[in-house]
């Protein structure tokens, strides 16, 4: 693989911070571009250059690509809350599609030929059968999934017309935290079930909202394929290596191939925390499919990806450990939030 740097957009976010760590652990040079609208500067290692700005700012992106000698991009910046996308679709189309177009234009102009794109299982909508393969028809049922699918197709067209290869990774439900305590979900307003349940177990929330108990699933609650964030980060490293070895464009599911219901997740949190978690049953949430589980045969074959944390209890344990560390005094944190003074915008 070349010595060229990797630009990680959204690298100050939850998934982005883990991807940055995985790339650095693999010996790659990394630069982060993040507008810090949801990301946190302190989530980026101090030795990694952090440029504050939007992927929609084509001039800034081009300057960043040139200044840091970027040869590949991992594009994670985007909006990702299903319920918010239903309420505010314009912002999702702007951030997930228009800004991706600007980034692609900058990459073409600066001759960046390798791109890994953060997509989502939400592109499938209510899938026919389970598990879903990459060839399952895409019929998104919310603006989040629709905007990500549009961005996938945009990048495929750009790659076909230029000297570029794109790997789109369709994430299933990402959870957990770095096992060394270096990174984890920092957003106090998160909607991800495992984080919410851990917060409830630690007394930071009164209850966990269960959106629907009448789905056609074994216990009536929604079923999802939960993947540990460190395994997902490893998939990005594998995708960059694959592209660096001349691999062509791919669309790949990122999941374990098994599903867990809301009730099963809550019970796993209760086991880890050794205390009950109160549930608050609400109606179904707009844009939520009843079940979504990956077939991961293709990513295993194409990228030789081998997950290391395929266990719900292990995922929950890492998430709970992170949440407990977040409650500890700053000087006891392994990767505490010291102020950063080296955020650049040029």
Instruction: Tell me 285's DSSP state.
Output: P
Q: Is 346 exposed, middle or buried (0-12, 13-18, 19+ CB in 10 A)?
A: exposed
Alpha helices (H) in the chain, listed in sequence order: 14-25, 58-67, 82-87, 89-93, 99-109, 143-161, 193-201, 229-244, 262-273, 297-303, 312-327
- Beta carbons within 8 Å of 181's beta carbon, 6+ residues apart: 321, 322, 325, 333, 334, 335
Distance between start and end Cα atoms, the chain: 27
**Catalytic entry in 144, 171, 215, 226:** 144
Q: Report the C-alpha gap between 60 and 56 in whole angstroms.
A: 9
- For residues 177 and 229, the answer to whether their CB atoms sit within 8 Å is yes
Q: How many residues does the chain have?
A: 346
CA 160 to chain centre: 25
- For residues 266 and 279, the answer to whether their CB atoms sit within 8 Å is yes
* 14 catalytic residue (yes or no): no
Which residues are catalytic, by number?
Answer: 144
């Amino acid at each position: 693989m070349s010595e060229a740097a990797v630009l990680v957009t959204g690298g100050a976010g939850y998934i982005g911070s883990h991807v940055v760590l995985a790339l650095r652990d693999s010996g790659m040079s990394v630069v982060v571009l993040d507008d810090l609208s949801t990301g946190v500067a302190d989530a980026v290692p101090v030795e990694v250059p952090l440029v504050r700005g939007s992927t929609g700012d084509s001039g800034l992106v081009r300057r960043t690509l040139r200044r840091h000698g970027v040869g590949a991009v991992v594009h994670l910046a985007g909006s990702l809350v299903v319920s918010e996308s239903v309420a505010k679709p314009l912002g999702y189309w702007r951030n997930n599609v228009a800004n991706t177009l600007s980034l692609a234009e900058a990459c073409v102009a600066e001759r960046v030929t390798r791109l890994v794109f953060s997509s989502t299982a939400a592109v499938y909508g209510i899938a026919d059968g389970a598990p879903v393969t990459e060839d399952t028809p895409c019929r998104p049922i919310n603006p989040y999934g629709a905007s990500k699918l549009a961005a996938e197709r945009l990048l495929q067209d750009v790659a076909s017309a230029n000297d570029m290869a794109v790997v789109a990774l369709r994430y299933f439900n990402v959870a957990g935290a770095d096992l060394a305590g270096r990174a984890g979900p920092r957003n106090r307003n998160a909607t991800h079930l495992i984080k919410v349940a851990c917060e409830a177990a630690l007394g930071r929330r009164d209850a966990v909202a269960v959106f629907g108990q009448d789905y056609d699933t074994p216990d009536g609650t929604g079923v999802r394929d939960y993947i540990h964030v460190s395994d997902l980060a490893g998939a990005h490293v594998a995708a960059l290596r694959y592209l660096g070895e001349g691999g062509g464009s791919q669309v790949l599911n990122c999941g374990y191939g098994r599903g867990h219901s809301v009730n099963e997740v809550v019970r796993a949190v209760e086991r880890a925390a050794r205390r009950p978690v109160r549930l608050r049953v609400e109606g179904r949430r707009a844009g939520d499919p009843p079940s979504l589980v990956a077939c991961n045969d293709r990513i295993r074959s194409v990228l030789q990806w081998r997950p290391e944390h395929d266990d719900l209890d292990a995922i929950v344990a890492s998430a709970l450990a992170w949440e407990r560390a977040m409650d500890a005094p700053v000087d006891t944190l392994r990767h505490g939030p010291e102020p950063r003074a080296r955020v650049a915008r040029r």
